[in-house]
């Protein structure tokens, strides 16, 4: 016994001494990318990179899946600080100010000087360019972009005597319907909640808060230049209070329901309505064992939703041929309407260019599955996702404040006022 065990240890030692060899003959680019929605886009990205390599044999893009958007930011920042700046990365669109303040980004305008290049740059939905442009220059190319939409369980609507083709369109209706959809057992325990808008920090609490401010005449919680936040504005507080009231009135789970389990809660039919990213549409469609619908978000005084998702960035400080190769790749990925359409069909992300919706495959798909158009139709009411300088720190403050309000350790008003002070202390350096 002892001998076998020792042998095992020795084997471990030997494996430990195996050297690593890798050959390089083409331009290889490591591209960090995040996936924060289900449905497996990581395999799709890999397939696209392979396809690109077939067309351009001298360029090879290695997608490096780095976890969530926050993890990807962490990894890229760490790589830059360690002097291993990548040529390209697919990152959160809202990392723009932070990356800009570090002076590590190339703008695309200086590369896309010819007519075709300009046409490419100007061909994206304006809603998505709000988080991609700064000082009239383009620093991010939209790729896996989304908005938040409402998913609802039509079977439950029928069961509760609601019209499955008439989802709630106002906050008041939302709460009213949600209460009708909530189910309790004989002991008075809730076995099904009417609505779930996830509010945990591990997810995207700040993003969900935006759904309740942008539906008040498009009020956004930060200034377009990324140096001011409006957490203590009465409209922000009102939005948060309404969100919290869904829990207080018993039609949403108390505390901070998790972003990561919200979709399975919906698929397991433990909630009737959820707010979630369009990036999950294909996933929900594949896995729902019931009839579901999607719609734009209910309004207070207007429709509205934040955009979200990831952009391609080009980084300074790498050999020129790598930048060129990365640029070629980004254009290849985002310029072809067919490819953009297919990506949208495969994932549920919104196709980033209007012309993608004119492709035959997209028209066919939308005929078969009208929900695919919900997010696009909502784009006219879409606004920039929360994005400021020192994003990591400020976002953490806001997320924490939302958690404090939702768990009842602070009132919404107090939480937002404290968050305002903390955020100002950081942002003052950038004004």
Partner 1 sequence: MKTKTASSRRWKLSPPMLVVYVVMFLTAIVFLIPLVWMVRTAFIPSEHTTNLLAIDWPTLDNFTRVWQAAPWSTYYINTFIIVGGVLAMQFFTVVLAGYAFARLDFHLKNTLFILFLLQIMIAADVLILPNYKTISALGLSNTLLGAMLPFFASAMGTFLIRQTIKTIPYELEEAAKIDGCSLPRLLLQIYVPLLVPALIAHGTIAASYQWNNFLWNLIVINSVANRPLTVGLAIFAMSYETGAQWSDVSAATFLVAAPLLTLFFVFQKRFVHSFAHSGIK
Partner 2 sequence: MQTNIQRIDQANRLKKRRTTWLAWLMLLPSMIILAVFTLYPIGESVYMSLFKNNMSTFVTGPVWVGLQNYVNLFTRDAVFKKAFYNNLIIAAVTIPSSVTLAVAMALFTNKVGRGKSFVRVAYFYPALLPMVAVANIWLFIYTPMYGLLGYIAPTWRLLENVDTVQWALIIMLVWKQAGYVMIFYISGLQGIDQEMYEAAKIDGANSVQAFWHVTWPMLKPTTIYVMIITMTNAYKMVDHLYIMTKGGPDNASNMLLFYVYQKAFDQSNVGVASAVTVVLIVILLLATVVQFYTQDKRTFYA
- The nearest distance, CB 9 to partner 1, in angstroms, is 5
Instruction: Mark 231-260 with x for binding to partner 1 (rule: CB under 8 A) and - for no binding.
Output: ----------------------------xx
Residue from the set 24, 54, 55, 103 that interacts with partner 2 by CB under 8 A: 103
**Distance of closest approach, residue 169 Cβ to partner 1, in angstroms:** 25
CA-CA distance, 242 to 221, in Å (whole number)?
16
Cβ-proximal residues to 115 (8 Å cutoff; 6+ apart), any chain: none
Q: Are 315 and 95 in contact (CB under 8 A)?
A: no
* Closest CB to partner 2 among residues 234, 255: 255
Toward partner 2, which CB reaches closer, 43 or 78?
78
Within 64-93, the residues that bind partner 1 by CB under 8 A are: 64-68, 71, 75, 78-79, 81-84
The DSSP string of 318-363 is: S-HHHHHHHHHHHHHHHH-HHHHHHHHHHH-PBPSSGGGGGSHHHH
- Which of residues 145, 214, 265, 304 is near partner 2 by CB under 8 A? 265
Nearest residue (CB) to partner 2, 372 versus 419:
419
Q: Judged by CB under 8 A, does residue 319 bind partner 2? A: no
Cβ–Cβ under 8 Å, residues 150 and 167: yes
Interface residues for partner 1 in 170-209 (CB under 8 A)? 203
> Please, what is the minimum distance in Å from the beta carbon of residue 77 to partner 2?
6
CA-to-CA separations, 136 to 88, 105, 181, 255, 323, in angstroms, rounded: 21, 14, 47, 41, 21
Is 40 or 250 the residue whose CB approaches partner 1 more closely?
40
Alpha-carbon distance 214 to 302, whole Å? 8
Sites for partner 1 among residues 265-304 (CB under 8 A)? 268, 276-277, 279-280, 283, 287
- Is the Cβ–Cβ distance between 266 and 284 less than 8 Å? yes
Residue 417 in contact with partner 2, rule: CB under 8 A: no
Q: Using CA atoms, how far apart are residues 45 and 206, in angstroms rounded to an integer?
A: 27
Give the residue carrying structure tokens 């076995």: 191
Binding mask 267-296 for partner 2 (x = CB under 8 A): -x-x--------------------------
Write the CB contacts of 374 (distance below 8 Å, at least 6 apart in sequence). Answer: 149, 278, 294, 295, 296
DSSP string, 262-302: HHHHHHTTSEEEEEEEGGGHHHHHHH-SS-EEEEPPPBSSS
The minimum distance between CB 310 and partner 2, in angstroms, equals 17
Contact at 8 Å (CB) between 415 and 402?
A: yes
Among 359, 350, 374, 277, residue whose Cα is nearest residue 126: 350
Stretch that binds partner 2, among 134-142, 157-165, 377-385, 395-403 (CB under 8 A): 395-403
Q: CB 410 → partner 2: shortest distance, Å?
A: 8
Tell which positions 224-263 bind partner 2, by CB under 8 A.
253-258, 261
Tokens linked to 113: 């000087």
| Binding-site ranges for partner 2 (CB under 8 A) | 70, 73-74, 77-78, 81, 98, 101-103, 189-191, 200-202, 253-258, 261, 265, 268, 270, 389-390, 392-393, 396, 399-400, 403-404, 406-409, 418, 426, 429-430
């Amino acid at each position: 016994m002892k001998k076998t065990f020792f042998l095992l240890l020795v084997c471990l030692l030997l494996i430990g001494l195996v050297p690593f060899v890798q050959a390089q003959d083409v331009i290889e680019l490591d591209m960090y990318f995040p996936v924060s929605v289900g449905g497996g886009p990581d395999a799709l990205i890999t397939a696209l990179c392979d396809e690109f390599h077939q067309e351009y044999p001298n360029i090879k893009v290695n997608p490096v899946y780095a976890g969530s958007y926050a993890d990807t930011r962490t990894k890229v920042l760490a790589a830059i600080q360690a002097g291993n700046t990548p040529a390209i990365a697919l990152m959160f669109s809202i990392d723009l100010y932070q990356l800009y303040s570090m002076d590590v980004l190339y703008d695309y305008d200086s590369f896309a000087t010819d007519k075709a290049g300009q046409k490419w740059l100007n061909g994206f939905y304006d809603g998505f360019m709000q988080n991609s442009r700064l000082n009239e220059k383009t620093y991010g190319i939209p790729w896996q972009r989304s908005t938040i939409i409402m998913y609802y369980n039509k079977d439950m609507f029928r069961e509760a005597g609601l019209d499955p083709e008439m989802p709630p369109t106002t906050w008041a209706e939302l709460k009213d319907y949600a209460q009708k959809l909530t189910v309790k057992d004989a002991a008075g325990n809730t076995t099904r909640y009417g609505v779930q808008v996830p509010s945990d920090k591990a997810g995207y609490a700040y993003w969900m808060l935006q759904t309740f401010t942008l539906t008040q005449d498009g009020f956004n919680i930060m200034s377009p230049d990324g140096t001011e936040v409006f957490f203590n504005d009465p409209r922000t507080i009102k939005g948060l209070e309404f969100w919290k009231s869904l829990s207080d009135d018993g039609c949403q789970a108390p505390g901070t329901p998790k972003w990561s389990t919200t979709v399975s809660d919906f698929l397991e039919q433990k909630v009737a309505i959820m707010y979630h990213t369009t990036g999950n549409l294909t996933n929900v469609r594949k896995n729902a064992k019931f009839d579901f619908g999607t719609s734009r978000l209910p309004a207070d005084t207007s429709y509205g939703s934040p955009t979200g998702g990831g952009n391609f960035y080009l980084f300074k400080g790498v050999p020129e041929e790598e930048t060129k190769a990365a640029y070629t790749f980004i254009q290849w990925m985002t310029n072809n309407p067919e490819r953009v359409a297919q990506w949208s069909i495969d994932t549920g992300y919104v196709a980033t260019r209007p012309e993608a919706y004119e492709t035959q495959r997209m028209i066919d798909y939308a005929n078969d599955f009208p929900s695919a158009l919900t997010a696009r139709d909502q784009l006219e009411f879409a606004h920039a996702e929360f994005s400021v300088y020192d994003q990591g720190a400020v976002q953490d403050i806001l997320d924490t404040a939302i958690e404090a309000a939702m768990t009842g350790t602070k009132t919404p008003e107090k939480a937002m006022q404290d968050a305002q002070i903390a955020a100002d202390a950081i942002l003052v350096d950038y004004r």
